[in-house]
Amino acid sequence: MPGETVVVVFPSRSVLVKALDYLNGLDYLKIEDAAIVAKANSGEVVVLDGDLSANEGGIAGGTLGAALAALGLVHFGALALPGIGPIIALGTGILIGGIVGRTTGRFATYLRDVGFKNYQVDALAARLQAGHPALVLELASGSPDVLPRLREELKAFKAELVERLRESWPGAALGETGDKTNVKRRGPVD
């Protein structure tokens, strides 16, 4: 049974960071995934989450494929070829290994779709005020009283909004935000 997705809006970034540290220490709260959505005064929206892009998967796969192909050819004795044979064999092997690895990495990234639905986060971004970042938490399935407990825990951090991320937000069902915001997604944050 999938867990629920909760949105918490904070008055500032520093309060959000303190609250996230606090939430990580709670025993009853099991966070499976998290993202931070913030809107600048210029209207630009930044989403910090753990999504991997196809290009990142391709680069990782290509690098690994090229390295493994080179090591495999050396292991099979490509350096024992006469003349310029080792250079040609290694170059070809690295090129083919890189291409196969890149393709495999991109495909694996498409299959491993982590993070939140883009239309949900985009709808949230359209509703945010500048300077009031939101923390989006995907919680493991657990007790039904998580939301009230979370509201109580976050009162000390002046959380402005604590509610479930709904697919019924304006524009969410159509994949539209209703606002032409410039959303930039950034990868894993540790």
Residue after which a domain boundary falls, among 111, 127, 149: 111
For the entire predicted model, the pTM comes to 0.58
Instruction: Based on the fold, state whether residues 39 and 122 are members of the same structural domain.
Output: yes
Instruction: pLDDT band for 35, please (50, 70, 90 cuts).
Output: confident
User: Quick one: 119 and 29 in the same domain?
Assistant: yes
- 177 and 88 belong to one structural domain: no
Over residues 25-49, the mean pLDDT reads: 80
Q: What is the pLDDT of residues 71-125, one digit of tens each?
A: 888 888 888 888 888 888 889 999 999 999 898 888 887 776 555 566 666 777 7
Provide the number of structural domains found in the chain.
2
Q: Are residues 101 and 25 in the same domain?
A: no
Same domain membership, residue 158 and residue 72: no
| Residue 2 predicted with pLDDT over 70 | no
What integer pLDDT is reported at residue 181 of this predicted model? Answer: 46
Whether residues 73 and 121 share a domain: the answer is no
Read off the CATH number of the domain in which 158 is found: 3.30.70.260
Q: Do residues 100 and 69 both lie within one domain?
A: yes
Residues 182 and 123 in one domain: yes
- Please indicate, yes or no, whether residues 65 and 47 belong to a single structural domain of this protein: no
Where is the domain boundary, 76, 92, 111?
Answer: 111
Claim to verify: residue 92 and residue 122 sit in the same structural domain: no
For 68, counting Cβ atoms within 10 Å of its Cβ (0-12 exposed, 13-18 middle, 19+ buried), the class is: middle
Query: Does 161 or 152 have the greater pLDDT score?
Result: 152
Domain residue limits at 147: 5-51+114-186
Q: pLDDT-derived band of residue 141, with 50, 70 and 90 as boundaries?
A: low
Q: Do 69 and 159 belong together in one domain? A: no
Alpha-carbon span 151 to 147, nearest angstrom: 6
Average pLDDT (56-73) is 88
